[in-house]
């Protein structure tokens, strides 16, 4: 959420604009400010918000249009900071969270890409809930706000993207479901009484929130700085087909199913129009998806409309375009500085400002900000004891355990047997580094332990050498020490990969290889080690480690990503078999040759006519280092399909009046698909079916396993995916035991695809359901 460098100074303006001395700690404070209608909790949220807006002067209204909203002393309203961060734990990247005070740390969960690798919905929701508890506790302590700008639900489209680590991966379904679970856990929506809902005719808009979550960055945002492009001026050219079935589904789900109370528009333009000026997209969220919350710009994305993209001829026009499109608040000061002038010039009206304020105040009201003293509120008991609790740190540990992925394990090198290991060596610049274990948007962890210090708990005779002075590894001067300790150890662990010097906000990678001389370090150690080396890979983005995958001197490869404050413990448990790994890659690992593909090309589908290989497992046709969903275990699992239909008739879903029209349009022998728009309203639910199967653990170790059900559609229209994930579930199976599982399949959702004009269609003909090596044919007929 870094500001463009030329705009950082604009924040200085606002410091003086709200510098009046304030003694009010919360709105509606008795005895002088508690009698306003907006303080009356028995009224509906809409009624209270309208009352508040009606009492404000125009300058007071404009003062609310920044993330640092101005106070209104005459109404007893203190300033409010909207910008707080909670991507995978509370973080002080934004001004809303501060670790200066009695609370000096918060639980640091694994980076999102690692938690996503668990493919565990329950875990995702529990993380969201735990972070929210700590957020409310810090708010009660005066060190945090109530509105947080997470999760990041952009699809991890290109492996070079510096912020791919913040996302749940490349699959729209996985990203969607992560967003829904995190938001539900984080917001902990509570219904108001039915009496109030009936009285005022309100529903979602009156639901109380524990905290507010924000789905970002809307939309088609996944480039920081590549070539001549930056995120501030990039125009994402996206087809209707890709928009419908890749870029938009996570946001639609986050709003429809997660009921997020905030949406953030991104810096980039989409098909020539800045995202924060795309009225069609922002209103689609409100009108079609039912969004009830506030829309914020990224920082300072309203300014970039004029300053960087040149889309408007003036700052006033940029502000007006954003407000009229549906933006309610600007992160930064651009609206505060230019809205009055925009009104004076007739670019925007006060009524349009009022609309924005109604959305903003409605969210604050749902958070209880105007319900009086927070020390007497619903969450008043939360405090410092609820932060860094043993429960939350255990949850962080469990997330790291479940998200770590075993990629290679030749000859069952792992797990190591404790009583057979007298000495260990751990080598690499990240092996004894605590600063970058969490990835981007990491706050102040409760405890800081490195991979090296955690391994010492298992093997006292563990030696460490960095090999490289840093992750960039520009010099081999440290190789000698690393080789020396490797020669003397029973087993050697080499930690290689990425950190935030290689991938982060405002920084994309140009290479998919290990940085600098890291490969040489790995190979040098493998050449002298007594036994095959264990390679541990850090970082959020994929790396081309083909050399290690094919080298017999490297026996095991483990991806730990950015595992958070408990990551060292989780890795040690997996290495020594105290936990059986079950994570799976939530993104494709591409070879170095993929860097020849322009990062600025937003097309998902492959195009052989121009040598374009496509993107993500759904459409990519080129070579892979590791496939999406790759992940090994210390045990073995077998599947058996118990029941699944072989034929589905779709005629009943189409109104009789439309049958003849469809056949005339297509020709009776050429009807290849049905458009969802042609189906009876609510008819899809009647066509849902179950796929039941059993999972057997045929190995000697208990373990969790991620079941991944794919669909392969008939190629009856252009742009059909190679395959697509339609169901996933993490199950625990004891050794020599079997469990049954079921996926509920909705053909309208799971067996459909967007056509070239962005309309959802169900291909007719032979679909194939894929589960591991099993295949099941299903014919969809009309």
CA distance 185 to 208: 13
Q: Nearest to residue 493, comparing CAs of 435, 430, 541?
A: 430
Are 275 and 284 in contact by the 8 Å Cβ rule? The answer is no
Alpha helices in 308-450 (DSSP H): 315-325, 334-344, 350-366, 390-403
Cα 660 to Cα 201, 203, 650, 665, 765, distances in angstroms: 42, 41, 15, 9, 20
Pairing of β 491-497 and β 424-427: parallel
Distances (CA, A) of 711 to 367, 619, 771: 41, 13, 9
For 60, 170, 254, 310, 317, the CA distances from 269, given in Å and listed in that order, are: 31, 21, 22, 11, 16
Bridging pattern class, strands 760-763 and 673-675? antiparallel
Give the max Cα distance, the chain: 81
- Buried-state track 463-486, b at ≥16 Cβ within 10 A, e below 16: bbbbbbeebebeeeebbeebbebb
Report the DSSP pairing between strands 689-697 and 637-643: antiparallel
Of 647, 556, 725, the C-alpha closest to 119 is 725
Q: How far is CA 446 from the centre of its chain?
A: 23
Contacts of residue 355, Cβ cutoff 8 Å, sequence gap at least 6: 328
**CA 509 vs CA 160, 263, 311: distances in Å:** 5, 28, 28
Which residues have a Cβ under 8 Å from the Cβ of 237 and sit 6 or more positions away?
A: 271, 602
Q: Cα(494)–Cα(547) distance, rounded to whole angstroms?
A: 14
Query: Which DSSP string do the residues of 751-777 spell out, in sequence order?
Result: S-EE-TTS-EEEE-EEEEEEETTEEEE
Among 282, 330, 285, which Cα is nearest to 307's?
A: 330
DSSP 109: P
Let me know: does 325 contact 332? Beta carbons within 8 Å. Answer: no
753-754: strand order across its sheet: 673-675, 760-763, 753-754
Query: Is 298 an active-site residue?
Result: yes
Give the SS3 label for residue 169: coil
d(CA 185, CA 123) in angstroms, rounded, equals 10
Other CB atoms within 10 Å distance of the CB of residue 310: 11
* Distance set, CA 195 to CA 42, 188, 546, 632, 636 (Å): 10, 21, 63, 53, 55
From residue 488, how far is each of 10, 166, 417, 531 by CA, in Å?
A: 58, 39, 18, 11
Is-contact 143 99, C-beta < 8 A? yes
Q: What share of the chain is helix, strand, coil (3-state, %, to 5)?
A: 35, 20, 45
Which of 92, 202, 298, 678 is flagged as catalytic?
298
Contact 442, 88 (CB under 8 A): yes
Nearest in space to 628 (alpha carbons), one of 614, 639, 638, 640? 614
In whole angstroms, what is the distance from residue 743 CA to residue 692 CA? 7
Catalytic residue numbers, as ranges: 298
């Amino acid at each position: 959420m870094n500001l463009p460098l030329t705009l950082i100074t604009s924040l200085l303006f606002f410091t003086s604009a709200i510098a009046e001395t304030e003694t009010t700690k919360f709105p509606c404070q008795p005895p002088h400010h508690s009698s306003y209608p907006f303080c009356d909790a028995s009224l509906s949220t809409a009624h209270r918000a309208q009352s508040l807006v009606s009492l404000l002067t125009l300058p007071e209204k404009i003062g609310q249009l920044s993330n640092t909203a101005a106070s209104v002393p005459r109404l007893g309203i203190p300033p409010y900071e909207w910008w707080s961060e909670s991507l995978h734990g509370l973080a002080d990247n934004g001004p809303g969270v501060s670790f200066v005070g009695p609370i000096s740390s918060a639980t640091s969960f694994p980076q999102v890409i690692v938690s996503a690798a668990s493919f565990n919905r329950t875990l995702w929701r529990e993380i969201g809930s735990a972070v929210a508890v700590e957020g409310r506790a810090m708010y009660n302590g005066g060190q945090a706000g109530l509105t947080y700008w997470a999760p990041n639900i952009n699809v991890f489209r290109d492996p070079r993207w510096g912020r791919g680590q913040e996302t749940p991966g490349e699959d729209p379904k996985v990203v969607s479901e992560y967003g829904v679970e995190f938001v539900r856990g984080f917001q902990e929506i509570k219904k108001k009484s039915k009496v109030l809902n009936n009285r005022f005719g309100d529903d979602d808009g009156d639901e109380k929130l524990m905290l507010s979550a924000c789905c970002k960055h809307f939309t088609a945002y996944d480039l920081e700085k590549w070539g001549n492009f930056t995120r501030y001026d990039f125009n994402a050219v996206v087809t209707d087909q890709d928009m419908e079935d890749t870029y938009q589904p996570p946001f639609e789900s986050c709003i429809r199913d997660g009921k997020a109370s905030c949406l953030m528009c991104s810096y980039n333009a989409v098909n020539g129009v800045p995202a924060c000026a795309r009225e069609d997209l922002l209103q689609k969220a409100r009108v079609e998806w039912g969004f009830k919350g506030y829309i914020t710009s990224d920082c300072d994305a309203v300014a970039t409309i004029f300053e960087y993209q040149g889309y408007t001829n003036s700052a006033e026009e940029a502000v007006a375009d954003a407000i009229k499109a549906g933006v309610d608040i600007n992160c930064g000061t651009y609206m505060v500085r230019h809205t009055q002038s925009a009104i004076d010039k007739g670019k925007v009206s006060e009524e349009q400002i009022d609309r924005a304020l109604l959305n903003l105040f409605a969210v604050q009201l749902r958070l209880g900000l105007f319900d009086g003293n927070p020390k007497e509120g619903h969450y008043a008991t939360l405090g410092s004891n609820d932060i860094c609790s043993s429960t939350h740190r255990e949850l962080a540990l469990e997330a790291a355990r479940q998200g770590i992925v075993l990629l290679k394990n030749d000859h069952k090198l792992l797990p190591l047997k404790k009583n057979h290991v007298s000495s260990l060596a751990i080598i690499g610049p990240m092996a004894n580094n605590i600063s970058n274990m969490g990835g981007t948007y990491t706050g102040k962890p409760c405890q800081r332990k490195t991979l090296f210090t955690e391994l010492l708990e298992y093997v006292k005779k563990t030696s460490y050498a960095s090999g490289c002075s840093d992750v960039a590894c520009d010099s081999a001067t440290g190789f000698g020490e690393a080789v020396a300790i490797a020669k003397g150890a029973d087993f050697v662990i080499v930690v290689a990969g990425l950190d935030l010097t290689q991938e982060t906000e405002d920084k994309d990678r140009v290479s998919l290889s290990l940085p600098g001389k890291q490969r040489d370090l790995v190979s040098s150690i493998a050449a002298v080690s007594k036994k095959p080396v264990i390679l541990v890979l850090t970082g959020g983005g994929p790396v081309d480690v083909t050399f290690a995958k094919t080298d017999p001197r490297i026996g095991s490869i483990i991806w730990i990503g950015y595992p958070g404050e408990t990551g060292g413990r989780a890795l040690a448990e997996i290495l020594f078999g105290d936990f059986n790994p079950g994570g799976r890659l939530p993104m494709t690992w591409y070879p170095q040759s993929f860097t020849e593909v322009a990062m600025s090309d937003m097309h998902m589908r492959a195009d052989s006519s121009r040598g374009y290989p496509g993107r993500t497992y759904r459409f990519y046709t080129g070579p892979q280092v590791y496939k999406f969903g790759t992940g090994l275990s210390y045990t073995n699992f077998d599947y058996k399909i118990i029941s699944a239909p072989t034929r589905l008739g779709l005629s009943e879903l189409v109104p009789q009046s439309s049958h003849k029209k469809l056949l005339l349009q297509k020709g009776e022998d050429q009807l290849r698909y049905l458009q969802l728009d042609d189906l009876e309203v609510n008819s899809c639910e009647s066509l849902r079916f179950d796929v039941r199967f059993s999972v057997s653990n045929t190995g000697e170790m208990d373990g969790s396993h991620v079941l991944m059900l794919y669909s392969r559609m008939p190629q009856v229209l252009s742009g059909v995916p190679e395959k697509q994930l339609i169901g996933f579930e993490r199950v625990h199976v004891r050794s020599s035991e079997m469990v049954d599982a079921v996926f509920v399949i909705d053909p309208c959702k799971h067996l459909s695809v967007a056509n070239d004009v962005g309309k959802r269609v169900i291909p007719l003909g032979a679909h194939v359901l894929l589960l591991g090596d099993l295949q099941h044919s299903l014919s969809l007929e009309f």
